[in-house]
Amino acid sequence: MANPYERVFMDSIDPILIEDLDGNVLDMNKQAERTYGWAPNELIGNPIKTIVPSERHAQADELLARCKSGDEVRNIEGLRQTRNGRIVPVLLTLSLLKDDSGKPFSIATIAKDISAQKEAEAELKRLSKVFMDSVDPILIEDLDGNILDMNKQAERTYGWVRSELIGNPIKTIVPSERHSQADELLARCKSGDEVRNVEGLRETKDGRIVPVLLTLSLLKDDSGKPFSIATIAKDISAQKEAEAELKRLSKVFMDSVDPILIEDLDGNILDM
């Protein structure tokens, strides 16, 4: 009768290699073939270091020695190298296999591919830097509108340090007459509506009112479940001041007691 564990070994979704106590490959499963690009007859009998980048050979020796001594070797970050030279980040777990008398005879090494996790971590670091270094204030809120995080520009613009705002409602920095707008935008974002470039107001710690252009983005986890909201509040104070000045000049122009004509650079009349 076939060993009941053989099918589990061969069909595992993670690469598994069986090594002797000197670190030579005795067996490998199908996923190891697919991941590393080597056929069993090409790897079996060769050192495990064949698929370990040279800069990690010392780590391979150390993990082998630890496992043979009876230490638990679980979830250790390492590297594997495929036949075509591609480097694969992995999470290593080594298990010492013993015969019926308790004598060790081989080691099973599971090397879980964590490429996707590493890419996600790198992207998270990149986004974190974008978030912290943005020229616009950005706040992260939970789905109830409580502040989870804020970037440096938010601190500079609103005059609050992170420890003073985090955990408090977003309405802390929204003038009372705009609280209903804050509730409406939060509800719209949570329902999946696009909330982009909506004019609003923010209030600084010292009471100054800042006109802003609000964009809310619903953040979701890997399963697609919403977990927070990112709010960008672009300061449009300069734009509002320019609009006010334009209105003032327009009124001066229209109400002047003297005739005024506006011409282009070729002398053609544009307004009067």
Q: For 200-264, give the DSSP string.
A: EEEE-TTS-EEEEEEEEEEEE-TTS-EEEEEEEEEE-HHHHHHHHHHHHHHHHHHH-SS---EE-
Backbone dihedral angles phi then psi of residue 11, each to the nearest 5 degrees = -100, 5
Q: How far apart are CA 58 and CA 107, in angstroms?
A: 17
Please enumerate in sequence order all residues whose Cβ is within 8 A of that of 152, keeping only pairs 6 or more positions apart, or say none.
132, 133
| pLDDT tops 90 at residue 236 | no
Q: What is the pLDDT of residue 2?
A: 45
Q: How far apart are CA 156 and CA 95, in angstroms?
A: 53
Express each pLDDT in 53-107 by its tens digit. 999 999 999 999 999 999 989 889 999 999 999 999 999 999 999 888 999 999 9
Mean pLDDT of the chain: 86
Asked if 240 and 150 touch (Cβ cutoff 8 Å), the reply is no
| pLDDT tops 70 at residue 258 | no
Task: List the strands of the sheet with 226-235, edge to edge.
Answer: 147-150, 138-141, 226-235, 209-220, 195-203
Q: What are the b/e assignments for 20-33, b being 16+ CB within 10 Å?
A: eeebbbebbbebbe
Express each pLDDT in 171-205 by its tens digit. 999 999 999 999 999 999 999 998 988 999 999 99
Question: Per-residue pLDDT averaged across 32-46, rounded?
Answer: 93
Q: How confident is the model at residue 4 (pLDDT cuts 50, 70, 90)?
A: very low
